[in-house]
Every structure is written in C-alpha cells, then in structure tokens.
Chain A
Amino acid sequence: MNRYLYDGTADGLLSSIAWILEEEPDPEKVTLRERMDTLFEEGFTIGTDATLAESLFFRLKQHAPDAAHTLYSFMLAEKEGMETSLLHYVSLAFKHGDKVKGYLTHPAVRDIVNVAKKAGRELHRMKGLLRFEKLQDGAYLAKMEPDYNIINPLAYHFSRRLRAQHWFLYDVKRRTAARWNNGTLQFGTIEQFTTPALSEEEKKVQELWKAFFKTIAIPDRKNPHLQKSNMPMKYWKYLVEKQGE
C-alpha cells in the first residue's frame, strides 16, 4: 500500500488527489496525509500545483456536479486528517458519477458526505441568521463567527440578494472580510478591526424587530428547547433579537 504526503494546503490536497488518480492503478488502496516533516515520516511527497487542483475540480463538476458540490462543502469545513477518505470519495465519484452520494454504506463516502452536510447546514443557517447593521455612512455591516469557513459562498448569496446596498461581511475569528459595492464582490483580511458608528435609524429599526420577534410567538406555547435546537446559542451573540438575554 503506497503512502503519499502533501503540504497541508487546499491546493496541495486537490492536486495530490489529481496526481494519484492519474498515476495509481487502484487509488482506493493508497493513503494520503499532510506532511509533518518528522524524522521518520514515511511516504512520497507530492508537489502542489494550483492548476492541477483547479482542473480536478472542474472535471469533477462536469462529471458529477453533485459530488463536486459535496467536495466544495467539505473543503469549507477545513477538516484535517480526512485526506484519505476524500481521495477515495473523489475516486468513487469519477467511477460512479453522482450516484456516489447514495453509496452511504461505504465508510469514506459516509464520512465525507457527513462533514460536507454539516458545513452545508451551517451555510444555510447563516443565510438566515446573519444580521446587518446600518452604519453612519450608509453601508451595512454583518459580523459573524461561524464554525466553518463559509464567507465565500455566503457573500455570493448576498451579492444576489442585497444588490442595491453597499455591505460588508466580517468573520471575526478568521479576520476575513467580504465587501460588495457597485456590483463587485471583493474578499480580503482585516488585521485591525474597529467597530464603526451605527446610523441613527439603526436603533429604531432594531427596536421594531425586537418587538415583532416578541409578539409573533404564541405566549402559552413557550418552547425554549425547540428554539435552541433550531437556533443554537452559539449564534446568539450577533442576533439583534437575542441581545440582553
């Protein structure tokens, strides 16, 4: 059984998979790990090649769009230690096409699909739970601390939704930001973040929203358990309606 190593980057991971699929007669029999540079590490290191990584993704997208989507969501999760499963999953996806997602009896498929699903679920959740605040200069800012690195697809979602306004997304933990202005979307990092002043109307709108949130619940049917299972407390920090609870 051959062992392979790569440099730990996303591009490195995908290009190694592309390389193995090309060179190995039976990719499901080999393993792939991040190189740790320890003294007795065994395995052959595959070089990183961004073009190879990209072309793998596009080929998969053509061959099995659904599996490519799973791969994309899996990468958002930034999970370590699952490279071999990913390799096997991609190999199976090329073999079976999109039907691979039904192959849940295969451990690699199950593991990859599960992680991808979790990242996908958080992305879907954040599409609802993200809260923008209007700043003094008229732009809108939304802060968040998601478990997964979802700022890219999330910003893309809002670029189609809130086209007419100038807005920012800011991932507080990763210090990454997205900005939409005049029809262009940009990504970057923010090293020093200072919270800008809010517009005057902001407070008023937040009060209206809080009032609506309170009245729309049926008073005798309080169900904090159900509320928390749908909307875990880790997201409350930036929810206007949950401030002061």
Chain B
Amino acid sequence: MDTLAKLQILSGAARYDASCASSGSKREGPSCGTGNTSSSGICHSWADDGRCISLLKILLSNDCIYDCAYCVNRSTNPVERASFSAREVIDLTLDFYRRNYIEGLFLSSAVMQSPDQTMERMVRVAEALRTEEQFGGYIHMKIIPGSSSELVRKAGLYADRISVNIELPSQASLQRLAPQKHKHAILEPMALIGREITTSLVERKASHRAPRFAPAGQSTQMIIGASPENDFQILRLSQGLYKKMNLKRVYYSAYVPVIADNRLPVLAAPPLLREHRLYQADWLLRFYGFSAEEILSDDAPHLDESFDPKTAWALRHPEFFPVEINGADYATLLRVPGIGVLSAKRIVAARRFSRITPDGLKKIGVVIKRAKYFITCSGRSFEKPDQPPALIRQRLLLGESSEAPMSILPKQLVLPGLIA
C-alpha cells in the first residue's frame, strides 16, 4: 500500500479526535533545525466541517487487537487495516511542516501487538523527529494504556503534550465496554505524567538546562452517552482530574453509534447538546471559579437543556443579584450570565478611567442581551428590578430563541474515543 492510501485510512480513523489544540507550548527551534511552537496556537486551515486544522492528526496503525464496543477499529469490525512505517510519518510531518501546512504532529494508534510494542514504535517516531531531524514543531502523543512507565517518560520528553484517554466515566462502564482496558492502566500513567510535569517545572526554575516534560501539559478525553453516568458524576470526575492530576483539558465526545452492539444504548441522535453543556460547565470549572457542587447536585444531577450552566446557576441564586457594574470585583462580574472573561476584563479596565454608563458598556463591546436581567449600572437597572426568577426564565427563553444554540454545535462534534 502506498503512503497516500495509508494516509487516507489513518487520517480518516483519527478524524473524530476532539482536541485540535496546538497551543500552550513555547519551544524555540534548534538553530540548525526546523520549527518552533508558538504559545498562542496557529490554525493552518479549516476543514470542510469548519474545524481548525493545526496538526497532522493520524494513527500510526488502525490494526487493533482490542475490541472496545464503541470503536470502528475494534478487532471484530471488518475495516481496511493499515500501518505507517516510522519513516513515512517522519517524512509526512517534515514535508508538511516545511510548506507551512501544519504546526506539527498528533500521533495516536490502535494497539498493534501489545501496548508496549505500540508505544515503543510511537516513541521512536518522536525521538527520530527531535534528535535526528532536529524538529522543533509541536508533537502531541497519545499514551497507550498499559504501556510501561519508562516509555511514558520518554514520550513526555519528546512531546509537547501527552494524553491518556480516560474513555468512560467509571470503572464499571470501562469493564463492560472496553474489557481489555483497566482503570489502573489509565490512571497510573496519568498520575505519573502529572508528577513528571510538576518535577520538570520545579527543576526548570532552578536551571534552564533541566529537561522539559510535556510543556503543553496533559489532556484526556471521555465518551459521553455510551454509558449510564450522569452529568454530576462526570463533572466531579473532571474536577478531580484538574485538581489531582493537574490536567490541562478534559475533552468530551458525544457518543455516535458506529457499530451495533447490545452493550450500547440505542440513541436517536448523538447527544450533542449534552456534550455542549458539559463543555460549558467545564469552562466554569476552569476559568470562572465554579465548583462541580455549585453547578449540580445529587438531587439535580443533569445539566439544564434550555440554559447554559451559568444562567441556570444564576436563576437558582437570585440573592446574588443584581451585580453592580461599577462596583463588583472581577470574580463577581464573571458570575453574571452573558459576561465572559473578556467582557469582565474590559469592564475592570475601563472603570479605571471613568464610571461606565450603559452606553459605555456598549462601546467597550459588552453585550447585555442576557446580562441585563442581572446587573445595575451606577444603581440603575436595565430591566424592572426584582422580577421573579420564573419570569426572567421565561423572558430569557423567548429572547434567546433566535440565538439558536444548535448552530454552535457542529464545531464540537466528535465520535467516540477510538484511540487506545
């Protein structure tokens, strides 16, 4: 099989991976070599589905010995199989990089003969790129669950970002749907990576010569809707991953049935809205100072379908509002529905010069369509004060129908984990 045919199979198999991020790493390229990375991340193209293309995203192989129920590449599914040689991946990466098609390589793989054998072949690609080819571009590598800590460490030395997919939100689901993968084979490398990243950061503070370990951090991915866990369980899991394992990102991917299996739920459509709400809730955890327990509870374990989680929280907490634009601190402003990080920062920055008027809010680009029910401007409210939450709820629903929440969804669509 020639490289072109392999590329079609092995990039097709990688297309459902959610993370396209190439940001978060600043690597000055070697003076005689090719490539550096830029901390803000660069998109090189946008695919026909509108998603950003930044990395050459491929599997080393789709020839899998495992049989995960939700995956197209499972051993019992009759699809065409292919595997790249290390040379092929290296050449593709360099040829694309030199023409400025990509920021770097995103390498993942099905489990070929064993986790270690697969991981070793992947690490060899990264090693050759870095040491033989002096490649300074971005490398994201997936860790195959069950590979030895030696290989995980090596991967972290060559890659900018590494990730271990958690796949499913609980041990029970993992056992049922991906019986060859064990919880500890996923969590152990995660913990190891977390520790190594911290150590490397500490050492690099002392000496710039100390080796970097996955400078862009680690991420993970889980499949939503293939197993019975509720949103509260999922969010608490993510919260734990951010806090205890030091993860940069958790990606959620709505389960899309690719093959029938009686262990899997029958869904009319992939739970895209649910995935979208989880991403929103995840943002609240990472950037808005919310905890999982503020967003959901055992009594109300599901994210609201009609409102984003921040609005839902605001409607449950009328005592917190209204928030005064000219007085509230940054953290409080962030709690207002419709005011994001950028708007909150702009408000704080503009207040230094003069009090902000309603007109001034518009001028600095703050949209108050949703916020207007929750704020005052120098004591004046935009709406009749003290409206009961039920009424605000209604008005928000009516006012927002034109906003078509579904229109933002396609960007987020991803199929289940696939990748080891």
- Which residues of A are in contact with B by a Cβ distance under 8 Å? 96, 99, 101-106, 110, 124, 127-134, 140, 142, 158, 160-165, 183, 201, 205, 207-209, 211-218, 221-227, 230-231, 239-241
Contacts and interface: CB of A to CB of B under 8 A. Distances in A.
Nearest to B349: A102
A163 B34 CA distance: 6
Interface stretch (B11-19, B72-80, B164-172, B327-335): B11-19
B378 interface: no
A105 B16 contact: no
Nearest to B56: A212
A106 to B, nearest CB: 7
Interface string B128-144: 00000010000000000
Interface of B: 3-4, 7-8, 11-12, 14-16, 28-29, 31-36, 38, 40, 42-54, 56-57, 92, 95-96, 98-101, 134, 346, 348-350, 352-354, 356, 360, 363-365, 410-411, 413, 415
19 contacts: A102-B346, A103-B352, A105-B360, A105-B363, A128-B54, A140-B99, A161-B34, A164-B32, A164-B134, A205-B95, A208-B95, A209-B101, A215-B8, A217-B48, A217-B49, A221-B49, A221-B410, A231-B45, A231-B46
Contact of A239 (B4, B12, B45, B50): B45
A67 to B, nearest CB: 13
B36 A208 contact: no
Given A102-B352, A217-B48, A162 B8 contact: no
B353 to A, nearest CB: 5
Contact of A105 (B29, B34, B348, B353): B353
- The winner among B54, B99, B349, B354 for most chain A CB atoms within 10 A is B99
Contacts of B38: 127
A85 to B, nearest CB: 15
A131 to B, nearest CB: 6
B28 to A, nearest CB: 7
B350 A103 contact: yes
Nearest to A127: B42
| The 9 residue pairs across chains A and B that have the minimum distance between CB atoms | A102-B349, A226-B50, A223-B50, A217-B47, A217-B48, A104-B364, A221-B49, A230-B46, A128-B44
Nearest to A132: B99
Given A165-B98, A230-B52, 17 more contacts: A101-B349, A102-B348, A102-B353, A103-B349, A103-B352, A103-B353, A105-B354, A128-B44, A134-B98, A208-B96, A211-B4, A214-B48, A215-B8, A216-B12, A216-B53, A222-B49, A230-B46
